[in-house]
Amino acid sequence: MPHIRPNPGFRRRLGFRCAPRVFSTSLRRSAGEVRIVEVGPRDGLQNESSTIPLQTKIELIRRLAQTGVRNIEAGSFVAPKWVPQMANSSEVLNYLLGYPPAAPAPIAFNFLVPNLKGLQNFLKASGTDNAPITSSEGPNQTPTPPSSLNSSKSGDTGEQGPITSRKDKTKMSSDTSSKDNPTQPDGSSASSNSIEVSLFTAATETFSKANTNCTIAESLERCKPIVSLAKSQNIRVRGYVSVALGCPYEGPDVSPAKVAEMTATLLEMGADEVSVADTTGMGTAPKTQELLKALFGAGIAAKDLALHFHDTYGQALVNAVVGLEQGIRTFDSSVGGLGGCPYSKGATGNVATEDLLHCLHSLGATTGVDIEKMAEIGNWISKELGRPNDSRVGKAILARLSST
């Protein structure tokens, strides 16, 4: 008589206990290409206590551009009194437009705009509204490159001068043809870079009121004119939903349905992508899986989502693997594990880019990012900031390289 294996429902009816399926590192589908959004220059630096020189910020972005990463958060047009580390973001933007860093591939530089005024300041700084650009060197002047950029070293290409007219430099379309554009020394097209904006909301009322002094509903209403104006200028818009897996005021039980509703609302407004953020690092594998189930159940496609994990409780990589299993192919991370949240006490940095890259590559994913270069940058910026390097993989790679 052939052996017949009872189905799980039959086993339960007989009183057997069935172990629930949990995530594993054996992916259901090929990991394929994964996009890394490097948030170190913005989310990574905004919580530092000491003042960060403009030269250091630009040097960080320049080095990151050479790793192969194609998306970099470069600054924030938030009021300096609230986030003083982002006070010179207009100068960072002006520099990137005038002196695009050499890179192996086009880069999308993202700037956070917390409200309509922030977007208007961004447009003014970019020259999109035909307003003069101001910087510490006077009106209508492109800032002089930091002195550290004036000489070549270990693969650096040195100073990049102005490449096009003001009008050409401020093109915002991400599909600019490189056919007639000037090229970088490495052959890539500088003017094929793009500039994007991002805006944020929060998944709990208490965090929203503490962070933006408004309710969730009011926050979403404030987003509408931002998205509308950005779209009228052909600027790609990225949305954030903060505290999606835990709130410093309301605890770890944030409603997945609420997160899904807010994400869908941002996409319906016209946002091109929404990054769902575990701002506090409270997320766990089961909670991440539950959240993704709610997002997909609301009709949101994986291609429209990114995941943003902080590593407060050491679960960021675990949660990223869960997201990868469920089809997410865009992840935010910060070189050297830089970061924190000024409105979430105790929240540590973002998942380190080096650690995330090592994990993704081990699972067969391709990112196009040079992990050794990223490790060197993590070590450099940590020393510049006078803080420990929070990337375990980065430190291991550097130890290996120093011994060979």
| Residue 82 pLDDT | 84
- Residue 192, pLDDT > 60, answer yes
Clarify whether 341 is annotated catalytic: yes
Q: How far apart are CA 338 and CA 85, in angstroms?
A: 14
For residues 220-237, give the mean pLDDT: 97
| Residue 50 pLDDT | 81
For residues 323-338, give the mean pLDDT: 97
DSSP per position, 153-205:
-TT--------S-HHHHT---TT---SSS-B-TTS-BGGG-EEEEEEEEESSH
| Residue 24 pLDDT | 44
Query: Nearest-CA neighbor of 37 among 394, 368, 380?
Result: 368
Name the residue type at position 87: A
Q: What is the pTM of this model?
A: 0.81
| Residue 178 pLDDT | 35
The span from the first CA to the last CA of the chain, in angstroms, equals: 63
Q: How far apart are CA 329 and CA 26, in angstroms?
A: 16
Catalytic: which of 223, 247, 341, 359?
341
Query: Nearest-CA neighbor of 238 among 213, 267, 217?
Result: 267
Query: Nearest-CA neighbor of 198 among 91, 271, 89?
Result: 271
The model's pLDDT over 88-145, given as tens digits with 9 standing for 90+, comes to 999 999 999 999 999 999 999 999 999 999 999 999 999 876 433 333 333 333 344 4
Strand, helix or coil for residue 84: helix
What percent of the chain is predicted at pLDDT more than 90?
68
Tokens for 74, please give them. 């470069």
Query: Could you say which DSSP state residue 271 is in?
Result: -
Tell me the average pLDDT of the chain.
Answer: 82
| Residue 404 pLDDT | 79
For residues 224-248, give the mean pLDDT: 97
Tokens for 319, please give them. 């949660």
Tokens for 314, please give them. 């050491």
